């Protein structure tokens, strides 16, 4: 029933070293052992999925740890977790905004015949210009 690290890695599309790294970093709980080898419950795949989503979305490993555990040491448990989530939501919004701007620049550059991005700058909306 249990999965060895190689199988978990294969299913999650990760390397075994990454999994050990996540464990050491506190992202994954230390699994049970059978003759020293890690044996995982398949539920770990759900956790890994969230970890990867968080990392891909720009959380650091440390943040992801807090995010997952929800129980940082200082202040009240749930409150601080809510603070992190809230702070990260703001950051995500800012990042989305940057991506949107970048996309707009990229799209504009398809429209115009300029060979260099900066040649397009004068066509930009005033908000994107520098004085």
User: Can you give the binding site for DNA, defined by CB under 7 A?
Assistant: 4-7, 14-18, 20-21, 33, 35-38, 55, 60-62
CB of 8 to a copy of itself, least distance (A): 11
Which residue of 34, 83, 96, 112 would you call a contact of a copy of itself, by CB under 8 A? 96
Give strand pairing partners of 37.
34
Closest approach, Cβ 35 to a copy of itself, in A, equals 27
Name the nearest CA neighbour of 64 among 97, 10, 14, 28.
28
Residue 68 beta carbon to a copy of itself: minimum distance, rounded to whole angstroms: 6
Nearest residue (CB) to DNA, 78 versus 85: 85
């Amino acid at each position: 029933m249990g999965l060895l690290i190689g199988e978990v890695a294969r299913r999650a599309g990760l390397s075994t070293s990454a999994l050990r790294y996540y464990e050491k970093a506190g992202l994954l709980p230390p699994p049970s052992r059978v003759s020293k080898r890690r044996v995982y419950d398949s539920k770990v795949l759900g956790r890994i999925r969230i970890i990867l989503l968080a990392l891909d979305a720009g959380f650091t490993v440390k943040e992801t740890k807090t995010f997952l555990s929800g129980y940082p040491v200082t202040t009240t448990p749930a409150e601080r977790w809510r603070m992190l989530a809230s702070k990260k939501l703001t950051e995500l919004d800012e990042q989305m905004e940057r991506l949107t701007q970048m996309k707009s620049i990229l799209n504009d550059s398809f429209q115009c015949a300029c060979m260099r991005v900066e040649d397009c700058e004068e066509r930009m909306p005033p908000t994107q210009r520098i004085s």
